Structure 1
Amino acid sequence: MFDRDVDYPTAVASYDDEGVDAAIDWCCQHLEDGDTLTVWTSLKSDLQNCRQLERLVNQHSNVEHVTGRGGGFIRGKGPVLMAWADMDDIGKLVQYGGHGIRALCVITWNEDAIRPWVSTVRPMILGDGSAWEDLTPELDPVVVEAMKSLTRTINHNNTISAGFEKDEVVSTLLALHDAGIRMEGEAMQGWALANGWSGKNPERLAKYVEDINAGKRPRCRRVLRADYVDSLRRRAVEGA
């Protein structure tokens, strides 16, 4: 029902001189005529922590600095360079500027904060790539099939904290849990980001999984048919 393909190139860069320089070069390679290169930081003052990024913003008219605190709105089309972002930041950026993103590069500060996203997206590695030798284990194929179904079904303009979207997500997660299917919240959050979920919904998804794994049963008004998980298993086998 809702096309959520993420079709722009991605990269992840180490936070050192080599990585930052490579990130800037990579983004510039994805600039087209009339584009704007958007540099994202959480706070305006964060730009002062990196002389290369500060110089890039201050010396070029086609480079714009936006902040997460200010909403992270992307006004023009072009590549985006996110400095020191986590998965929640990526989700919010895609929500407010997804249609304008031509390419996305993330400079790391805490590799574990984006490891599930990197594990799913498999971006180009820039700079020191030693942090990515160990990636998050792959999701159970049955979980992947469930996530594909949810991605096609829910309206991603709505929150999954209420209404139809909550019922769809929670009933699916409860069915997986009750069938003994292993779920990893952060890994599923990374998958969701890689497949077009945006805003706070990937984060909310991870929280639902965490709560359900802890024995909680969030309320929902939908009960799935008894053979739902079996149908996911069949699709997983066919897909393999």
Structure 2
Amino acid sequence: MQNSLTLPDLLNDAAILSLEHQLHLETVVGDLNWHVDLAEPKFDFHGESELVCERFHLLGSAAPGPGSWLWAWANPSGFLPETIELAESVRDLGREYGVPELAEPEVPFAALPGSPEEPHQVLSLLTDAAKVLTGRFTAYNGPVGGGTRAAFLLEHPSFLLAEATPMHAVSLIQQAVSGVPYITDHRRAVYSYGRLRGLDPEFSADGRTLALKALGIGLEFDELNRLTRIEGSLTPDSI
């Protein structure tokens, strides 16, 4: 990772793998309800079945009243050290790489890319940045009263991804570049996904094409770093 980063850099890096994990989380927990006890601490999903997270990490909360995000380590209410240590590591990395949105205690909605107005939009941005810095890619956010939403990173074996396949990867990449609004650099986003997913990404000499060698997929980009073409052998066996 380079010595200087911006929040948009981190969002491009995180976007596709984050989407993959969130889609997987939806299939695992389905319609189960969530519950968190910050004093015990415990985070679980329950309903017809129950899933108790091995660990969870409180990142922060987005409140519509002040129109700002507050990092968990800066919350005056105080939390158990083990629930906020990951947020503290994000703060430290934010300072190291010069990303003020990750290092300042409170971040106005208007200071974030796209000037989001809704708490869930703010959570998506700052949670994804935290994901790529911590290597924890499964997140959940929920209402905690007064329109405020809190963001968590979760750990459980059920949240681990299956081995990637060509058909799945192509579908995911297409869904991400067309539907994730904060992807501003397709070329960077796809390369980062390939690197983080262990797909052996390699650019051509001119940087216009990218091979995900582990899957036999080739991708082309234009001069504005937009994805223009995907090719590979996508057979029923590759689903």
Same fold, judged at TM 0.5 (above): no
TM-score, length-scaled by structure 1: 0.23
The answer to which structure has the higher helix fraction is: 1
